[in-house]
Structures are given as C-alpha cells and as structure tokens.
A and B are shown apart, each in its own frame.
Chain A
C-alpha cells in the first residue's frame, strides 16, 4: 500500500530530474556561452588559442548532451506522473522539486568539477582568491535553492 508521502515520489523525482537538467542548461548557456567565464576543461586546458577553445567547446557540447538527456528523462517522468491517477498534482511540490534539482546540480557539480576534479572554476579568468569566492558562492546558491525547494515541497499539508 502506498503512503501519502510515497504517492508524491513520482512527481518529486520528475521535478528533481527536470531541475537538474534546467540547472545544467542555465550553467551552460549563461556561464559557458553568453558570459564565457569558464568552459568544461578551462582549468586544465585554458582556452587561449583557437584549438583550445574548440577542444573546450567539444567537452561543453558533451556536457550539454548529458544535460539534454536529463531534461528528456525528467519530462518522461513528469508525463508518467501526470498520467498516474494515484499521484497528487501539486504546483508547490513540483516547483519545489525543480528548485531542489537545480540546487543539487549547483552543489554536486560544484563539489565534483570545481573542488575535487578542478576541471574549471566558476570564474576561470579571475585571480585564484577570487576564483574560490565565486566557487563558494556557486555552492551556496545550490544550498539556498535546495532549502527553498524543500520548504516548498513541505508546504503541502499532506507532506507534513
């Protein structure tokens, strides 16, 4: 028998996966392409020649491809959740899940790519101390989004 909380799981997972995808696209479009403050491997292969820019662009493209797959997977899960009559449809739960996924993207990508593997930093062109501040700000944005998202999910009376 499904409990009320577990009934929300398909909707929460769908929103979360969609949020991860949207977070990835936000990062890729704003930071990699519009502002061009970092690329996927810009800490390993600084893009100061045309060839290095192109190599970074290849890995940016691969990152976007995985982000696209996540978004498609999120849409599929959302469609399944919408079609399932047992799943309660709640806007605040869905938006909260999307924000949580977005925040998780920033947190996980920030820890793995910026801190552990050091593939790139948020602002690659800044001096080292500034790089750390931007990296920390990126991680904090993730934590804040997760807190807002979780509180929105818990706003639903059935989830309390």
Chain B
C-alpha cells in the first residue's frame, strides 16, 4: 500500500516527498495559472480599469464643455 495517508514505508516516502521544503513553491506553481485565469475573468467581467479611467476622463471633459 502506498498513499499520502498510509503508514507503510512507501507511504512515509510519499509524505516526505510531498510535505517537504518544496511544498509551498510547488503549491504556488500549481496555483499560478489559476490566478491568471481569475485575473482574466475579472477583466472580462468588469472591463480594463485603464479603459474605465479614460472613459471617466472623457465624461468629465464632456461635462466641462456642457457647463
């Protein structure tokens, strides 16, 4: 038997191979693409913040002309 929860020798080897000094760097590496996907999804939903800012500036300009 070999699994992260197994008490066998191979099980211990598996646990040592997962929960070691590289655990958090490996975790970060696995998460990284998903962080990018989340960022793209936010941009898709709300639009680019720069675009919104320039849009607001345009609106302000138009207000100035109308005043």
Give me the interface of A with B, judged by CB distance under 8 Å: 6, 9-10, 12-13, 16-17, 20, 40-41, 45, 50-52, 54-55, 58-59, 62-63, 66, 69-70, 104-105, 108-109, 112-113, 117, 119
Q: Is the CB of A17 within 8 A of B37?
A: yes
Complex contacts, A112 vs chain B, CB 8 Å: 32-33, 36
Q: Are A13 and B18 in contact (CB under 8 A)?
A: no
Contact status B37-A105, CB under 8 Å: yes
Would A63 and B30 be within 8 Å (CB), given that A51-B10, A54-B14, A58-B14 are in contact? yes
Is there contact, CB below 8 Å, between A55 and B30? no
* Contacts A9-B45, A50-B10, A66-B30 given; does A108 touch B18 at CB 8 Å: no
Say yes or no: A108 contacts B33, CB within 8 Å.
yes
Number of residues on chain B facing chain A (CB within 8 A): 23
Q: List 5 A-B contacts (CB under 8 A).
A: A12-B44, A16-B44, A66-B34, A104-B40, A113-B33
Question: Is A52 in contact with B41, judged by CB distance below 8 angstroms?
Answer: no
